[in-house]
């Protein structure tokens, strides 16, 4: 049975972007994460494919029109919505801004545990999580606050490594077992689902050359440190996906060159003082489209490797 059986709304621009991504199916963005040949494909037995999106603000799309859940800052133009529309899947989106791995199994304020959305009839799960576990937003705020002391240096890196240990790298390491536990919980709740772990897009210039200014108040020497921290986070998440039988989708590589330092129109990540309708240091509408295209490509590759 073709997976594309449930019609949902789309637009020509988004449809073209996602169709173009599918053509380059094997070019990039996918790790099979140790899955067997049988578990690597998306189920095709039923007419409706039940898709559940889990995760934090990089999945929910805060600030991007149209916001459909004020509590979770969730947009109907986030990557799960675009992916569901492209694949004609039935979407249950419980991604929520501020979510940590704890919010998957327990309540997040008034929101029920995200894992409650899963069941034995869940076919596909996407998960974007881990950034809030290492406190990335508060870390950025700390770094921005230190910039005035040494705008040409690296006060943020100095602060987080002052005791001889890279505390951000340690937080990434400490989050690894939480990701593993989350994936195990997903598997228990949705034993038949294909689980896709989506990494974080490129936030900072990949070459380490920054753009210190009013919109991005980070010291010139700290861009490389923050870039490396994000890469460590993504590498850890990829490792945990591989170790726990899930797919990892790399959204960093296809978004290089569209970081927060690029001019409006060319950037897919908003600076710390956002100009487009999106949260600071988060994907804007174009960034969510790019993430959707990358995940859709990975899904198509997986479905073709049966």
Active site residues: 57, 282
Q: Which residues pair with 52 in a beta bridge?
A: 92, 125
Helices (H) and strands (E) in the chain, counts: 9, 8
Tracing tokens 């039940």 back to the chain, one arrives at 50
Gyration radius (Cα) of the chain, Å: 19
* Pairing of the two strands 67-69 and 50-55: unpaired
SS3 call for 138 = helix
Closest CA to 186 of 87, 53, 90: 53
**How many angstroms separate the CA atoms of 226 and 140, rounded?**
9
- The interaxial angle of helices 285-304 and 79-87, nearest 10 deg, is 40
CA 274 vs CA 260, 268, 277: distances in Å: 9, 11, 7
Which residues are 31's β-sheet partners? 248
Determine contact, residues 53/95, Cβ cutoff 8 Å: yes
Q: Tally Cβ neighbours within 10 Å of residue 239.
A: 16
| Buried/exposed code over 22-42 (b: 16+ C-beta within 10 A; e: otherwise) | eeebeeebbbbbebeeebbeb
Pairwise CA distance, residues 124 & 41, whole Å? 10
């Amino acid at each position: 049975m073709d997976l594309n059986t449930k019609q949902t709304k789309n637009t020509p621009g988004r449809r073209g972007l996602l169709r173009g991504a599918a053509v380059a199916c094997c070019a990039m963005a996918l790790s099979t994460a140790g899955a067997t040949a049988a578990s690597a494909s998306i189920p095709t037995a039923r007419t409706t494919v039940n898709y559940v999106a889990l995760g934090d603000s990089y999945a929910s799309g805060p600030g991007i029109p149209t916001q459909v859940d004020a509590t979770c800052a969730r947009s109907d133009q986030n990557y799960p919505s675009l992916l569901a529309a492209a694949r004609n899947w039935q979407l249950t989106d419980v991604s929520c801004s501020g979510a940590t791995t704890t919010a998957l199994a327990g309540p997040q304020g008034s929101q029920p545990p995200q894992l409650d959305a899963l069941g034995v009839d869940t076919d596909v799960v996407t998960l974007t999580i881990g950034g809030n576990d290492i406190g990335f937003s508060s870390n950025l705020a700390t770094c921005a606050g230190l910039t005035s002391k040494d705008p040409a240096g690296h006060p943020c890196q100095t602060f987080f490594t002052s005791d001889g240990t890279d505390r951000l790298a340690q937080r990434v390491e400490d989050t690894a077992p939480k990701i593993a536990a989350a994936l195990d919980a997903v598997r228990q709740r949705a034993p038949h689902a294909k689980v896709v772990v989506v990494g974080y897009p490129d936030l900072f210039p990949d070459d380490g050359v920054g753009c210190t200014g009013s919109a991005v108040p980070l010291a010139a020497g700290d861009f490389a440190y923050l870039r490396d921290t994000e890469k460590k986070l993504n590498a850890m998440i990829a490792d945990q996906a591989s170790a726990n039988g899930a797919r990892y989708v790399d959204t960093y590589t296809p978004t290089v060159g569209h970081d927060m330092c690029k001019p409006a129109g060319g950037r897919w990540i908003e600076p710390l003082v956002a100009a487009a309708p999106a949260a600071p240091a988060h994907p804007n509408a174009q960034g969510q489209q790019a993430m959707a295209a990358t995940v859709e490509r990975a899904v198509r590759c997986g479905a073709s490797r049966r």
